[in-house]
Amino acid sequence: MGIGETPKPHLAFLASPGIGHTTPLFELASRLVTQHNFQVTFLVITTGSTPAQTEYLNANPHPDLHIVNLPRVDISPLVSNDTTAFVRLCIIAEKSIRTSLSSVLSRINRPTLRAFVIDVFSTDAFEACNELSIPVYSFFTSTAAFLAFSLYLPVLHNHVKDETCDLPDPVKVPGCYPIRTRDLTGMATNRSMDDYRWFLHHVSRLTKVTGIFVNSWDDLEPISLRALLHEPYFRDIRAPPVYPIGPVTKRTEPEESCKKILAWLDKQPKESVLFVTLGSGGTLTSEQLTELAWGLELSQQRFILVVRKPSDCAAATFFSVGSDKDDPEVYLPKGFVERTKRVGLVVGSWAPQVAVLSHRATGAFLSHCGWNSTLECVKHGVPMIAWPMYAEQRMNATMLSDEVGIAVKMPVMGDGGETVMVGRKEIERVVRVVFEGGEGGKMRFRARELGASGLDSLSRGGSSYETLARVAESWKIGN
């Protein structure tokens, strides 16, 4: 800053652990720096961070976006081998926040600090922010539908004594589509589990924030957003203002990681390739990975398959994405890579998702339906095969297939909500539906419509751009 210049207004950000939480908050921070003239201090919980996250955060430095690493904390006395990924995430966030957040925030230039933006699993930051009189906003990085359910869960918890998963009828969040109980995330259905207690702890505090950003926009989720903005129920529980600002997605990836894959894609016909990857944490069992490989081979469809070491835990790589160095071929059926080399590309551990989805040769995306991946897919007008695995992904899959019309669901769930094995013939059938049938053509047309709508919403004058601009202006004038 030059002599006599007025310092830029300052924001602080904090995401809970995991690249899936860090990415949208960092992209929002970047947008506020580059489009709305803020400086941002982006706090990073380093305990449990992955190589992929570190590489992403350091890829595009900006003089007004300062990354500050919170000290690592020891959680070994608090966890065991049986601790789920979600509970581990919450414990890491809580201990990191309580150990160092107050001292870090107190060193920021307080007169210029206008707001602190956190994700939904970082609400333990409230105490430090209240002490320093810093207004807190939440960036809810999932769907508007899941936000509405999250605001409704404390009421459901107090008024219904049965387990949510045992309810005979769908859950009816006021003003929203009914939610089948078997589509609900496990951390919202079983009161005896630590996952449920942590989830309820955080979503019960959503009404304490000054405002909630949600990674969606009107054309994608009109019913849920209308409910959040206008349904009397949400006013009655004193829900804070909700600001739809999506799609907030990753923009770029390290060029070096893209070269081999993009060179292969360049040789493929337009919209001919199925991209198969299950997010930053998703892993299949050995048996299911074998069936997936056989299903791809039987379909005779071109594909890129991202392979990770098999595991019985669906989120096994949540805290290690980007670090699996094994040869992916050892996990696949014998001879698979050789037999499919004319139509397929097998990649180990991780692939540059944005680069693949934006390529002209990509025709569909087999995805776990994590919201970041979904928005990247929609933004580039690519239809989906939904293979939900954990968290709120079953809700997302049902919404994308039944309401939005851009996905076909793989039958990975039994009648009781349990995960089931999907055989190779069924996988072959679903892949052919997307690429060969009229249903696939309709999904592709709808995906393109939404992709164009999402880009329009982010342009100056678009709904998401103007919503964020109004909040940014209120921060600048001190309201």
| Residue 339 tokens, joined | 């037999």
Cβ pair 212, 242 in contact under 8 A = yes
| Residue 116 tokens, joined | 């602190």
Contacts of 176 (CB under 8 A, 6+ apart): 145, 148, 149, 223, 224, 227
DSSP three-state, residue 13: strand
Question: 157 catalytic, yes or no?
Answer: no
Beta bridge partners of 116: 12, 136
Per annotation, catalytic residue among 21, 36, 202, 368 = 21
Angle (deg, nearest 10), helices 144-159 and 194-203: 110
CB atoms within 10 A of CB 133: 8
DSSP three-state, residue 158: helix
Cβ pair 376, 335 in contact under 8 A = no
Measure the CA–CA gap between 187 and 300, rounded to whole angstroms.
Answer: 38
- Give the C-alpha distances (Å, rounded to integers) separating 120 from 25, 89, 203: 11, 12, 7
* Global pTM value: 0.94
Q: Name all domains of the chain by residue range, CATH numbers in brackets.
A: 10-250+459-476 (3.40.50.2000), 255-455 (3.40.50.2000)
Name the percent of the chain in helix, strand, coil, to the closest 5. Answer: 45, 15, 40
Question: 21 catalytic, yes or no?
Answer: yes
Contacts of 55 (CB under 8 A, 6+ apart): 254, 322
DSSP 8-state assignment for residue 272: -
> Residue 315: its pLDDT value, please?
53
Helix (H) or strand (E) run with residue 469 in it? helix 463-476
Measure the CA–CA gap between 191 and 164, rounded to whole angstroms.
Answer: 8
Measure the CA–CA gap between 384 and 364, rounded to whole angstroms.
Answer: 6
Render each residue's pLDDT in the chain as its tens digit; 479 residues.
Answer: 445 456 789 999 999 998 889 999 999 999 999 999 999 999 999 998 887 788 889 887 899 999 999 999 999 999 999 999 899 999 999 999 999 999 999 888 667 899 999 999 999 999 999 988 999 999 999 999 999 999 999 999 998 877 777 788 899 999 999 999 889 877 888 888 999 999 999 999 999 999 999 999 999 999 999 999 999 999 999 999 999 999 999 987 666 667 889 999 999 999 999 999 998 778 899 999 999 999 999 999 999 999 988 887 655 555 555 545 568 888 999 999 999 999 999 998 788 899 999 999 999 999 999 999 999 999 999 999 999 998 899 999 999 999 999 999 999 988 777 889 999 999 999 999 999 878 999 999 999 999 999 999 999 999 999 999 999 999 998 76
Per annotation, catalytic residue among 64, 66, 74, 119 = 119
- Give the C-alpha distances (Å, rounded to integers) separating 98 from 115, 157, 191: 19, 27, 26
Name the nearest CA neighbour of 382 among 315, 431, 440, 300. Answer: 440
Q: Which residue has the tokens 């933004």?
A: 379
